[in-house]
Structure 1
């Protein structure tokens, strides 16, 4: 065999003009060394194109790398003598057996979307529709891969609908192929690999890029150049290709579709139009309703756009449910009836339609019922080698353990099988919501927001995050959105909370920089939500009181917050340390705390020193205790909190006992012709405010009660004030002591009564002064009345007169003189008696304030103050 395969074949009579198929490589050196013997391929709407090529060469040492990534064009000679072209990229190459003269090579030819399978990525898109995303990825591929750019172009001419702008779309560990086709499936957009030039003048015509056509309307499918295909038997004597077999297939499909999903902004499960019955009649025996074959989906929750509409995303609603309803219904209708055709027509192309002629059954129809769209094609073709050479090739294929296509009719060197559906049946890609999506697993993300913010949320408490897999290079198309570490990196993401009522619940908003755990509703990678947060690396676990670390403080539990853009905190701490169990509610501001239980100092280690038992309410600044219906402060024990919280019967009994004692003493004072206590009835009324059966107060009063004493202490002043009575009752003594003055004042009167042991007033120094500034003064004693001056004198002064009475005798002194009067004897004893002429003595002037007038003025003005000047 000659070194050049083509020269050898020319000598055997297989010239270029006699070949049924030709191959052209973009690598010129291969065009001189490789001969295409056979092609076997498959092509389908929404799947792409792939073909297996069996090639011959006299060179057994062609490096397989020369094939990989090389563009190639396969030209098949049609029944009209034209060349029908199929192009693609060589993605696999296998060297077969060699017999010394011939070597086999098996190549795989695929369209450029096969490259998408080789690139896996994770990235996010915000506020884009599906076509925007596809175009972005397509442009990136063209920029990054010259092979892709020269092999495939994007054709959007078949798109006739507008598509929703989605607030958030994620590619998650998906190949670009799976990601792009997932999006197209979800919108019901078909994709079709087509040739820029289906027919070429000769096999040396330049290789042109294929087209990726996106189509959402059947009217955008074109007709084959031949427009019609004849139904006829195949024979070597026939000049033109034809369809030799047409088999109709019917398969029972769901007869109704029902889509429902959660609509968050409506707070309800949306059902759209409910169960939508198929318009296609599936059975002559039963109508669709009676078949009851419902394809019911509980679908992914609706996306939620920005609540203020600032992101430009399409508002979710029933329109999307109806669209998905129609999508699934159209797919079931298309699968219900298809046709399988066997033909020899070499220039049939997937995504094109034709009219079928001369078929005994189809001819009975008219119009669109005679027109068929090619949705899939499997085909083979081969060159007709001389018999000896064909046997040599067959033996090498067998030795290579390759499966050889054996046609049932040896006279036919080529044929194809077409999957057809009537042109007027809506074509949509298969979309299985659970299968056509990536696996979604919990993952980490970082909370982000605008610069200068620490907490960034919307009205629902949703946050923005940066997914940790995002790379700058993948997001440069949108100003870096997705990898900017700010609020452009995602749409609003829901935050799971343990309690979410209408205006109530639990709220712990994630803060910028925190690491959160993301999960996905219904396993849909485009519906993320936050399930919780993590402590990792330098983001240490909660340090209560800003002290300690785990595992040393493992016995502490609770909640600690952080001051917004500050260093303060609030905390609810539970200390479950054995023998030191306690709870604390604290704000670091002014060390304001409520401490309960076995109190101990903040723990930096597993243990800390005790500091008391019970409870402590404290702050470094101001404090207030308010109770609008009453307040009880008591040191009476109530073991294990078994009583009611305002139980104060001991205090009530004590008040009632003191009231009875005070009342009895008041009666004694009244009988002794002094003033009775005015507050006895008020004390009784106060005690009656304390209820027994239901422990509560009838009025908003403050009750202090202790079985062992109450102490008030201050280094400054104590002020007691009451608009009503100020009462003091003691079963024993009331003692008043002061280091300076004891001053008592009353705007009405002061009344003192001692029932048993008298009244004693002593001035250790200074004088005792008693004045009656507005009236008289009575000093009465049942027995002796003694006035003594131990070291000075006694003076009795009256402005008008002095009268002394005793035992029927009288001494009167006035301005007229001194007049003794007695019925007995008048005895005077003196060492000397001197009687002189008369003289007068002036009475010292004592100026007393007019108290009654001042009191009258105060009463007239309503003042509680009497000014004595």
Structure 2
């Protein structure tokens, strides 16, 4: 005997409706009346009134208790064959969700309870949550099992027509679990119905389907009977109704996918080709469905553009033709497809799919159900009505989570997205996978340009949602909090600061009279400060501009550098305005040309001014790459070590006043060609406070000329003079001549006077004076070869050839450091270099 039969016979009653509480067997109930509502994709709900001799049934004996509502019919063959007097027709299992005591009499009390499927209990779970990397069927199964009311055997997703993709993230926002489940299923067109387990009738299975093949196809031929005022023992169907409406001509879906914004496969259109001509008009356009691919034409691939377009079309088709009927058959329920028998209207001939029904019955009234449904159309299916997603207004708090093990730096993916931990999410998730990858909203962005300050783990962010859609989050703002205080507070509220976690900083001070800008980094303590300079305590330490570092500093400008103290009030002039510097250059050139003329007049060597003039032209407004330094009150270069001034061509120094070179030890001056000294006014002094003065013309003549007296004096020694080819001393036409043979001749045009106390004549005597020899000075050259644009890229072990302007050729091979050997050269000429392969 079946479970329903056993229960049906427990009560000896004439009532064809039984209400039984398996866990509260002492509760006696006699069904008075009931109403029911069953709709595809909704938990069924029955409101049942019953009487009981117990005037005060305990609430916990009924409320939240399992119950079985049994519809039965008399067994007409029971009296002939000894069978039971009642046959179960249908059993509705569920849980009592409401319980009321309505009234009582002396004999009994009247109660009312609401019986719903256990799925309705999920309406008691209200929450916000984040689910990661799950398909919709997987998530629905998880929520049902987690509720504690379902096991695997009463959840049936086994015969879905589509394979649904895993979603990176699904957000439940201020929804009950039931609404959340129904919303997710409706979005992808999955509907559900209820069916008692084929072996255990006290258990109800939730059957999920996404196509017509999950309908319950009934073989029963339900006769269509028109109302005649009579009733019949046999079940029948009556009051057949058809309702038809307009359909849009086509359905268009479109979305924006930032991952591939230029993709042409962003929209799909489905035309309503199966609708009769003349009943279609308009277009349904749906924007921002959740899909990443276009899909195939027929929408066979789930959660694509084509899939959602077809789904929307089928949902509209469900409302285009609506059927209605009334029946007395308690076995009919939503999800059943059957064929009414008899002269039925055309809309019923293809089959009647029940999608909803309203039931009523009582002790005095026969069972009656008002059915609603749709025609059965091959290739199309019932689709639940779309349930709108909750809208998240504004932003919600979250924290940035690190991707990977290193938590020192920001956790970004290859395209600059983050993962966040939503504050409302109570579940513990795998570290670094607390959410989908979300973009960071910024005030400026473009093709690998924009503004992006990477966010570190634990940073509070305000997450916004595109269109308020919970599944489309993005980081809208970054926030300070109690654990991460603001860098600008009432203590420094005049400062505008950008500072990174590693203390790279840009600070702009707006305090009136103390305005300044500071750019700094901790590495090498490099800083650039402009304006009112202060120390770490905010005390003034200077004004103007300061650039400093504990490491190296390089100033590089390809077109020229100007350093000047020439004033430019309120930045009113042009960048290369150098009026004072140019005036000084022109003054120096004029002075040089004046002294040049004086030197030429005096017979000194010409003072070259052409290069000085060319240099002035070069530096004027930096017409060519050069460095110009101008100091109105002076320029000093000071070092405790060495100072080098080197020029590849000319070294020019001009002073309008005095020039002073003070050297503690040695002063050396070496000139490759000629040294010319000219003093126009006060003469030249060469004094050696100690040591010798040596003057030589090693391969030329020496001329010493004075307009006034010429004095040679040795105060503590002797004076020697010698000449290899003779000597002659002349004054007034007379003199002394010494020939190379040693003959001394004294001659005079007027006379010779000898004054001495005595005059002595001896034999011949000769003194030999050694003659110095002068070797020709040799020039030694060494070169270091490197790549033209990179001095660090040396050219080692390369054969080269040098050709001077005079035609001298020198060849050699560089060593491992790129250096040439010491090379002999005739002069300090310029050379042309060739690398010989």
Shorter-chain TM range is: 0.7 to 0.9
CA contact (8 A) 1:272 1:322 kept: no
SS in structure 2 opposite 1:268?
A: coil
CA distance 1:350–1:857, shift in 2 (3 Å): closer
SS in structure 2 opposite 1:519?
A: strand
Counterpart residue number, 1:748: 673
TM-score, normalised to structure 1's length? 0.82
CA contact (8 A) 1:231 1:356 kept: no
- Give the superposition deviation at 1:597: 0.9
**What is the aligned counterpart of 2:429 among 475, 483, 497?**
483
Distance across 1 between alignment mates of 2:781 and 2:735:
42
Counterpart residue number, 1:619: 549
CA distance 1:527–1:79, shift in 2 (3 Å): farther
1:452-490 C-alpha deviation (Å, 9 max, x unpaired): 343221121111222233334xxxxxxxxx524x22322
Distance across 1 between alignment mates of 2:730 and 2:223:
159
CA distance 1:287–1:89, shift in 2 (3 Å): closer
* More RCO (CA 8 Å, sep 6+): 1
Alignment of 1:18-57 (within 5 A): 18-31=14-27, 33-57=28-52
CA-atom RMSD in angstroms: 2.9
- Give the superposition deviation at 1:595: 0.3
- Give the superposition deviation at 1:514: 1.9
Distance across 1 between alignment mates of 2:385 and 2:665:
97
Counterpart residue number, 2:835: none
- Give the superposition deviation at 1:225: 5.3
CA contact (8 A) 2:129 2:173 kept: yes
Q: Does 1:591 align with 2:529?
A: no
Counterpart residue number, 2:623: 698
Distance across 2 between alignment mates of 1:667 and 1:493:
80
CA distance 1:78–1:802, shift in 2 (3 Å): farther
Distance across 1 between alignment mates of 2:389 and 2:250:
21
CA distance 1:823–1:856, shift in 2 (3 Å): farther
Q: Does 1:185 align with 2:181?
A: no
**What is the aligned counterpart of 2:357 among 377, 382, 385?**
377
Counterpart residue number, 2:133: 127
SS in structure 1 opposite 2:756?
A: coil
**What is the aligned counterpart of 2:310 among 312, 326, 349?**
326
Q: Relative to structure 2, which stretch is displaced further, 423-432 or 661-670? A: 423-432
1:54-76 C-alpha deviation (Å, 9 max, x unpaired): 11112111112211121112122
- Give the superposition deviation at 1:15: 8.3
Distance across 1 between alignment mates of 2:339 and 2:289:
42
**What is the aligned counterpart of 2:565 among 627, 630, 635?**
635
Distance across 2 between alignment mates of 1:669 and 1:440:
90
SS in structure 1 opposite 2:332?
A: coil
- Give the superposition deviation at 1:811: 1.1
CA contact (8 A) 2:15 2:31 kept: no
Q: Does 1:498 align with 2:443?
A: yes
Distance across 2 between alignment mates of 1:208 and 1:29:
15
Q: Does 1:718 align with 2:646?
A: no
Structure 1 or 2: more helix by fraction: 1
CA contact (8 A) 2:145 2:151 kept: no
CA distance 1:536–1:853, shift in 2 (3 Å): closer
- Give the superposition deviation at 1:223: 2.1
- Give the superposition deviation at 1:29: 2.6
Counterpart residue number, 1:461: 416
CA contact (8 A) 1:331 1:429 kept: yes
1:559-616 C-alpha deviation (Å, 9 max, x unpaired): 11134xxxxx21111122232211111011121000011111124xxxx211111110
CA contact (8 A) 1:466 1:483 kept: no
Counterpart residue number, 1:550: 489
SS in structure 2 opposite 1:219?
A: helix
Stretches of structure 2 lacking an aligned partner (at least 5 in a row): 1-8, 76-86, 294-300, 783-803, 811-822, 829-837
CA contact (8 A) 2:392 2:465 kept: no
**What is the aligned counterpart of 2:213 among 214, 219, 229?**
219
CA distance 1:676–1:190, shift in 2 (3 Å): same
Counterpart residue number, 1:195: 196
- Give the superposition deviation at 1:167: 1.4
Counterpart residue number, 1:684: 613
CA distance 1:318–1:587, shift in 2 (3 Å): farther
Counterpart residue number, 1:173: 174
**What is the aligned counterpart of 1:820 among 746, 763, 779?**
746
- Give the superposition deviation at 1:84: 1.7
Distance across 2 between alignment mates of 1:865 and 1:462:
69
**What is the aligned counterpart of 1:729 among 644, 651, 654?**
654
- Give the superposition deviation at 1:620: 1.3
SS in structure 2 opposite 1:658?
A: helix
Distance across 2 between alignment mates of 1:151 and 1:354:
29
Alignment of 1:347-426 (within 5 A): 347-362=331-346, 369-384=349-364, 412-424=365-377, 426=380
Q: How many residues get paired?
A: 762
TM-score, normalised to structure 2's length? 0.85
Q: Relative to structure 2, which stretch is displaced further, 264-273 or 521-530? A: 264-273
**What is the aligned counterpart of 1:525 among 446, 453, 470?**
470
1:488-510 C-alpha deviation (Å, 9 max, x unpaired): 32232212222221121112111
SS in structure 1 opposite 2:404?
A: coil
1:768-800 C-alpha deviation (Å, 9 max, x unpaired): 221222322110123332223344443323344
Counterpart residue number, 1:246: 240
Counterpart residue number, 1:83: 89
- Give the superposition deviation at 1:624: 0.8
CA contact (8 A) 2:399 2:461 kept: yes
Counterpart residue number, 1:296: 285
SS in structure 1 opposite 2:456?
A: coil
- Give the superposition deviation at 1:301: 6.6
Counterpart residue number, 1:66: 61
CA distance 1:711–1:424, shift in 2 (3 Å): same
CA distance 1:60–1:786, shift in 2 (3 Å): same
**What is the aligned counterpart of 1:447 among 400, 404, 408?**
400
CA distance 1:741–1:864, shift in 2 (3 Å): farther
SS in structure 1 opposite 2:453?
A: coil
Alignment of 1:135-284 (within 5 A): 135-141=141-147, 145=148, 148-149=149-150, 153-196=154-197, 208-224=202-218, 226-233=220-227, 235-268=229-262, 272-281=266-275
1:509-564 C-alpha deviation (Å, 9 max, x unpaired): 1112222221112211112111222221222223xxxxxx732122222211134x
CA distance 1:826–1:560, shift in 2 (3 Å): same
Q: Does 1:785 align with 2:738?
A: no
CA contact (8 A) 1:25 1:72 kept: yes
CA contact (8 A) 1:251 1:335 kept: yes
Counterpart residue number, 2:761: 835
Distance across 1 between alignment mates of 2:363 and 2:35:
12
- Give the superposition deviation at 1:188: 1.0
Q: Does 1:539 align with 2:472?
A: no
- Give the superposition deviation at 1:271: 6.2
Q: Does 1:427 align with 2:427?
A: no
Distance across 1 between alignment mates of 2:512 and 2:374:
78
CA contact (8 A) 1:92 1:107 kept: yes
Q: Relative to structure 2, which stretch is displaced further, 69-78 or 588-597? A: 69-78
Distance across 1 between alignment mates of 2:423 and 2:771:
98
CA distance 1:865–1:37, shift in 2 (3 Å): farther
